[in-house]
Amino acid sequence: MSSVFNVVLPVFALILLGFVCSRSGRLGPAAASELNRFVVWLGLPALLFSITANTRWEEVWQPGFIAAFSIGCLGVFAFTLAYRLLQRQPLADASLDGLGAAYANTGYVGFPLCLLILGQDALLPALVASLVVVCVLFAIALACVEIGLHSGGRIRDVLSKVMGSLLRNPLVIAPVLGSAWAAGGLALPTGVNTSLELLGAAAAPCALVSLGLFLARPQPSVRVTGVWPLVFLKLIGQPVLTWYLAARVFVLPDLWVQAALLLSALPTGTGPFMLAELHGREAARVSRVVLFSTLGSLVTLSLWLLLLGL
């Protein structure tokens, strides 16, 4: 119970702080966008680069964790996608629903939560999970959306666009560069390492406040259906599947099992909403999934922590 009050509530308190600051006008309309830019282009890349540059490859390489987390999120994505397609929903919209049900907010909530609950060592599974979400899940969903919107186009053009999007993503580039630095066997200069630590330390609180600013956006007044099944899959279905794979199938060490459960139980990130807006698709459902899963995760994450005995 102490973890709930000492860790989970402070995390959500920063989200609430961003929400209140937006609704009260203390932070203006551009605050969410600008703070999000800082997190995406400076804070999180610095944290990811620092982790990978100071980590040996054998510490990160946990194939059981990669398999458990990947099967968990990709399984939920595939199930939702297939179900929506059976309902005669267009491929682009079905892909966005699948992404909404499977896209764990590892960057904005996962890193601070793992750090506060499981300690510094848990940043490694958070890093691996983030790479799976950004480089695998998001890329597959993006490809499905592009195929759905340009069904007459060439697959090569779609794949080229997806690869270009990934190669321009600082959350992909930073760990790749960090890994390359670590492979060279050189220690980071003290000044550079300190600068990265300062930026990385700012990433977590800024990310949480930025998420609160995003959630404060007015919700569409139109009637939206099909939200709660996606929220249930995200907060209950995915963590149960991932925990079973991590603990019973791959029999991972306790830290990696606990991290797998917590990271898969995170609420939906803002990626699906941004993808929907970018491609001009109806974003009302996915924006509500982000909102309700974030609010609901305050309860479900607390329950998972109690079940883990943390």
Of 141-150, 156-165, 261-270, highest mean pLDDT? 261-270
pLDDT at 65: 95
Measured from the Cβ of residue 74, the count of other Cβ atoms closer than 10 Å reads: 16
pLDDT at 5: 64
CATH number at residue 78: 1.20.1530.20
The encoded tokens of residue 34 equal 């600008």
Residue 221 lies inside a defined structural domain of this protein = no
Banded pLDDT at 221 (limits 50, 70, 90): low
Whether pLDDT at 1 is above 60: no
The encoded tokens of residue 266 equal 């995170």
Residue 170 lies inside a defined structural domain of this protein = yes
- Per-residue pLDDT tens digits for 77-116: 999 999 999 998 888 889 999 999 999 988 888 888 888 8
Cβ 288 vs Cβ 227: under 8 Å: yes
Number of structural domains (the chain) is 1
Residue 118 lies inside a defined structural domain of this protein = yes
Query: How far, CA to CA in Å, does 204 sit from each of 10, 18, 146, 223, 246?
Result: 12, 13, 32, 34, 26
**Rounded to an integer, what distance in angstroms lies between the CA atom of residue 251 and that of residue 244?**
9
pLDDT at 49: 87
Using the 8-state DSSP alphabet, how is residue 137 labeled? Answer: I
Residue 54 lies inside a defined structural domain of this protein = yes
Residue 25 lies inside a defined structural domain of this protein = yes
pLDDT at 191: 87
Cβ 65 vs Cβ 260: under 8 Å: yes
Lowest mean pLDDT among 63-77, 112-126, 229-243: 112-126
> Terminus-to-terminus CA distance in the chain, angstroms?
8
Residue 71 lies inside a defined structural domain of this protein = yes
Whether pLDDT at 157 is above 60: yes
Q: Which domain holds residue 115?
A: 2-215+226-308
Query: How far, CA to CA in Å, does 129 sit from each of 205, 211, 218?
Result: 20, 19, 30
Residue 220 lies inside a defined structural domain of this protein = no
Query: Could you tell me which residues are beta bridge partners of residue 268?
Result: 104
Phi/psi of residue 119, nearest 5 degrees:
95, 180
| Greater pLDDT, 104 or 223 | 104
Whether pLDDT at 117 is above 70: yes
**Rounded to an integer, what distance in angstroms lies between the CA atom of residue 122 and that of residue 200?**
15
User: E strands within the chain?
Assistant: none
Residue 52 lies inside a defined structural domain of this protein = yes
Query: How far, CA to CA in Å, does 55 sit from each of 130, 158, 173, 181?
Result: 16, 34, 16, 10
What average pLDDT is seen over the chain?
84
